[in-house]
Amino acid sequence: MSNTSDVETYEALYGQLQAVVNRLEQGDLPLAEALMLYEQGTRLADACQKLLDHAELRVQELRSNEVYPDLDLEA
């Protein structure tokens, strides 16, 4: 999440994931629809996790630069 676009993307994906979870929790779904929603939820959760992992790496990178501001970690 290195820019606003990543944050907006995460928020959108997370909102979609919440909608899928809410629908599954309501129950009374045909099996085929429940499986489709479960698969969609898994894909959304994976995409959210990748964005969070990227954000964590970025934070670690920024913190390293604070501790060693003259050290070029990009090289």
- pTM value is 0.75
Q: What per-residue confidence (pLDDT) applies to 22?
A: 97
- 3-state SS class at 1: coil
Closest CA to 59 of 14, 45, 67: 67
18-65 pLDDT, tens per residue? 999 999 999 999 999 999 999 999 999 999 999 999 999 999 988 887
DSSP state of 68: S
Q: Which residues neighbour 64 within 8 Å (Cβ) at sequence distance 6 or greater?
A: 71, 73
Q: Is the pLDDT confidence value at 2 over 60?
A: no
Q: Where in the chain are the domains?
A: 6-54
